[in-house]
Amino acid sequence: MRDSFGRKIDYIRISLTDRCNLRCKYCMPEEGVKLLNHEDILSYEEILILAKIFISLGIKNFKLTGGEPLVRRDVCNLIKELKKLEGIGEVTITTNGVLLEDYGKDLIDSGIDRINVSLDSLNPIKYEKITGRNLLDKVLGGIKLLLEHDFEKIKINTVPMRPLDREDIENLINLGKDNPIDIRFIKVMPIGIANSELGYSKKELLQIIESILGKSSHFDGKKGNGPAEYYSFQNYRSNIGFIDAIDNKFCSECNRIRLSATGFLKLCLYYDLGENIRPYIYSLSENELREKIKDIIYNKPLMHHMNESLIQRDKKNMNQIGG
């Protein structure tokens, strides 16, 4: 479907839970947050009901997020059921990787199309400082398991924060040198407790990466459903991408909406705009629910204003929104 500005909306990010087994500094306060009760989150049956309606509207590509989606039971069974739906496109997942050693094979068997792993440093000390947990070895073990099972649709999402040195960047990009792993650098956004001033611009990062890998070439192909801008390098197997929603807005091409764990249909990452559609599953007919969802999405805002202070800015943390 298209919104009021003519943008094609074909991608939805569904948060399965607000719970997480890490405490990343830019995502969740160190003291934690008040967590949802299980009865307050969408059941898998409710997600599948909504998924059928989204697909009927042309929203056929699904990303499963959290919190950390793998801490919720039976995620792989949900993926299997999603993949059975007529008209479904890609079903992908973003995970911090801590549980990949346990569930990586099941994810592959479920038919998952791509696995994104959030990983900000390969330095054990820095990793623990960022995440609050000493679990880097488990993450790397999970990535190794995926590669051993010849799974080649892997992306690393890294949010570089100051101070970050050349060695940190070099270690991360080396993951993709000989392996089918695309590396994506995402500038931290002013969401919840995060401070965008601590992030790096694409220009800064590309200069550092070119000093390591040599001159880059812009990659014109599309990789997945996201807004990343990719570059390729000689003698480097994979691609390196950048997402900078502040200095390089992609609002005019935004194709996504978000569904929170509680059923709130969120129209823009930055704004607290949208509506909780969970009650409508029970109060409306299927056709009425479809029209209601269509009307909500139609009013997706034109663009964010992350560099401004606005009343409608969402104050929730990323674990609650589902990044």
Annotated binding site for [4Fe-4S] cluster: 20, 24, 27, 251, 254, 268
Annotated binding site for GTP: 13, 94, 155, 256-258
Look-up: residue for tokens 């690393």? 156
Amino acid identity for residue 62 in this structure: F
Phi and psi, residue 250, nearest 5°? -120, 25
Residue 76 · residue 104 · CB < 8 Å: no
Residue 270 · residue 251 · CB < 8 Å: no
Look-up: residue for tokens 């059921």? 81
Looking only at the bridges linking them, the beta strands covering 240-243 and 181-186 are parallel
Amino acid identity for residue 286 in this structure: E
Q: What does the block give as tokens for 284?
A: 């409306």
Give first-to-last CA distance, the chain, whole Å: 22
Would you call 88 helix, strand, or coil by DSSP? coil
Amino acid identity for residue 117 in this structure: V
Contacts of 99 (CB under 8 A, 6+ apart): 21, 68, 70, 71, 138, 142
Annotated binding site: 13, 20, 24, 26-27, 67, 94, 118, 155, 189, 251, 254, 256-258, 268
Q: Give the integer Cα–Cα distance in Å for 4 and 28.
A: 34
Residue 182 · residue 240 · CB < 8 Å: yes
Q: Give the integer Cα–Cα distance in Å for 242 and 24.
A: 20
Look-up: residue for tokens 């892997």? 154
Annotated binding site for S-adenosyl-L-methionine: 26, 67, 118, 189
